[in-house]
Amino acid sequence: MGKEIACQLSKFNCNLALFARRDNELQKISEEIIKNNKKIKCIFKKCDVKNLMDIKNAVDFAYKNFRRIDIAILTAGILIPNPIQTFDSKIIRDTIDINFMGSVYFTEFLMKIMKSQKSGTIVVTSTLPDRRGVPGWGAYGASKAAVSWFFESLRSEAKQRYNINIITLKPGSVKTPMIENYHRRGAISVEKAAEIIIKGIIKDKEVIQFPLGQLLMTRTMDLFPIFVYDKLDIDLQKGDGYPQVKDY
């Protein structure tokens, strides 16, 4: 999604700074963007969001090049199943580190710059089902629930004190490499998702959640009483493609 958002933003003549671990991929994307719009800069740097210093260097790099940061879109994330049969706290820690703490670290450094600018927008990425547990996906869900909770707690104060907008993205299923092994029904294209995200940012929305059908279904399930919720079919909730693990 990050790649597609960057490509679409380049058409608005935004200068861009791209970060991820595979800098060879970043180089390709950056070259493609510059080839299609020679009026903008598109710089990139390797960054592992598990590493606080990488994030400090990423923010410094963007600020030194552009002398301001208007919008930061934080989409780095991993989705790893955590089957009950092989309960493994390392999966849970890694997922929290990347999906939640990565955005917290970025926010620490971005806030300093945005406070001095007296403006800025930080977009963080949660997920549509961020309110109830899902069998087999607890690590991912917990990391995203933390994003939703933490950044909602920050939102009003960041706006009122420093004029910093915090936007939480809550996508349903989007056809990206992340879900290619899990055949999620009703997934929308990455192009459509990026379009919705950019429109939402332009409108200064607090939360950007989509697509509508999945939003309605998720929020309806949020209302199920516990005794009903706990009786839902476990395999159905895990979804197609969830790894089959032997019981020991």
Ligand X SMILES: NC(=O)c1ccc[n+]([C@@H]2O[C@H](COP(=O)([O-])OP(=O)(O)OC[C@H]3O[C@@H](n4cnc5c(N)ncnc54)[C@H](OP(=O)(O)O)[C@@H]3O)[C@@H](O)[C@H]2O)c1
Backbone phi, then psi, for 162, in 5-degree steps?
Answer: -125, 5
Measured from the CB of residue 160, what is the shortest distance to ligand X in angstroms? 27
Measured from the CB of residue 86, what is the shortest distance to ligand X in angstroms? 22
Residue from 8, 14, 21, 80 that binds ligand X (CB under 6 A)? 21
Cα–Cα distance, 92 to 137 (Å, whole number): 10
Tokens of 135: 């069998």
Cα–Cα distance, 61 to 43 (Å, whole number): 9
Measured from the CB of residue 20, what is the shortest distance to ligand X in angstroms? 3
* Interface with ligand X, residue 225, by CB under 6 A: no
What would the x/- binding string for ligand X be over residues 78 to 107, using CB under 6 A? xx------------------xx--------
For ligand X, the closer of residues 116 and 146 by Cβ is: 146
Of residues 160-219, those binding ligand X (CB under 6 A) = 171, 173-174, 176-179
Residue from 82, 95, 107, 125 that binds ligand X (CB under 6 A)? 125
For ligand X, the closer of residues 53 and 228 by Cβ is: 53
Cα–Cα distance, 231 to 82 (Å, whole number): 20
